[in-house]
Each structure stands twice: as C-alpha cells, then as structure tokens.
Chains A and B, each alone.
Chain A
Amino acid sequence: DAMVIQNPRYQVTQFGKPVTLSCSQTLNHNVMYWYQQKSSQAPKLLFHYYDKDFNNEADTPDNFQSRRPNTSFCFLDIRSPGLGDAAMYLCATSRGTVRDSRHNEQFFGPGTRLTVL
C-alpha cells in the first residue's frame, strides 16, 4: 500500500543534542510537509517542500532545519533541542499538481514523538 512512513516512532534526546527525524513516502507526491503538534492542539506547519523548493513558515525557529534529498525522503533536523521542542512531529504529503482537484489533500504519517530530557 502507498503510504507515508516515519522513523523512529519514538525518539528521546538530551537537551541541546542534535536529532534528526526521517520521513519517506511511496505516494510519489510532489509536496512534503513537516508539522509540530503539541498535546490536544492542532498540527502547526513548520515548513514544506514543493519538489526541491523549500518554503519556511515565518514563525518557525532557526533551530529547525529540513532536507529533501530526493522525491521520496525528507528529514527534519533539530540542531539544539530544548524542553519546549518536545512534541509529536508529523510528516505529510500532497500531490501539489494544481490541475488535479485533489491536489490539496494531505496524507499524514504516523508521527514521531520526541522527548527531550
């Protein structure tokens, strides 16, 4: 089945120790997104890639970076995690082809729960 995969599902890191979360997709979608979700809140968009074009949200801290080496993979790097960065991190994809009426539908992975000690 076509899907969005996130690894690991649970990640524990120490305060200030860099961490990388990964996402892969078999949907062959053009757009990949990274969201941060804190308890009982809606997901908050950090940034997204349209193909290789990187789009950062204005309020995303510089501590968060992303890489998309190819269509299938996207990485979230947190350079110096703080206690406030503990959250669920969600990856999502969408077709992004405007002539397709379903291009805005986003499909989410299962998420990575990050704990910062």
Chain B
Amino acid sequence: GQQLNQSPQSMFIQEGEDVSMNCTSSSIFNTWLWYKQDPGEGPVLLIALYKAGELTSNGRLTAQFGITRKDSFLNISASIPSDVGIYFCAGTGTASKLTFGTGTRLQVTL
C-alpha cells in the first residue's frame, strides 16, 4: 500500500541533543499523527495535527502540519535515553484509514 516518505531512516545522537524528523507525501492529508513505538509494544500517539500550518507541542516534542498539507515534521528537544524507539508519522486523507511513514529509528547515547 501507499507509504509516506519519512526521513531520516535512523538517527544516532547524544543525550541532550535536539532531534528533527519529517514526512513528505505526494498527496494532501487532512490529519497528521505522530506515534512512538517501543520494542515489543504498540505505537503510542504523541501529537495530532488537524490544520495546515498548525504547530503543536507536547512537552519536549513539537510538531507542525505543513502549509501545503503534504508534509509534517517532529522535533524533540534535549533528548534523553527514554526517547529511544521508532517514530512513525501517519496521515489521513478523506478516508479514516491511516497511511504510515516508513519510520525513524532513534538511538540516544549518554
């Protein structure tokens, strides 16, 4: 099925650094969602975005819904070891089904 282009594929950063990842699509989306998945667990919803240009924060996380409605980014400030995991973007168009990004694997070193 269709997937969103998510980058980078993986990141290896030091504790305290800021992290940025993004998703792009050739199609317009009405909703952008960002999930984090820990090993052996289900994805957990971090941030949901509903309007083009919207900027939303959740603690150290900030995400934006691109103006063109074809992209979104997620920033994590001052990363800590528990930020390790796989981050997925997901979007919905006119239907309620999610289209997932390919995932960004984040590893944090002390």
Taking beta carbons and an 8 Å cutoff, which residues of A are in contact with B? 4, 6, 31, 40-45, 48, 57, 59, 88, 90, 92, 94, 96, 101-111, 113
CB proximity of B10 to chain A, nearest CB, Å: 10
Contact B96 A42 (CB under 8 A): no
Interface size bucket, B side? Answer: 20 to 34
A2 to chain B, nearest CB (A): 13
Contact, CB under 8 Å: B96 / A59: no
Q: For the complex, give the distance between the alpha carbons of A88 and B35 in Å.
A: 17
B-chain residues with CB within 8 Å of residue A57 when the two chains form the complex: 1
| A88 / chain B contacts, CB cutoff of 8 Å | 40
B98 within 8 A of A: yes
Complex Cα distance A86/B96, Å? 27
A sample of 9 inter-chain contacts (CB < 8 A) reads A42-B100, A45-B97, A88-B40, A102-B48, A104-B30, A104-B33, A106-B98, A107-B45, A113-B40
Q: Is the beta-carbon distance between A101 and B50 smaller than 8 angstroms?
A: yes
Residue of B nearest to A44 (CB): B1
Contact B31 A104 (CB under 8 A): yes
How far does the Cβ of B5 sit from chain A's closest Cβ, in whole Å? 12
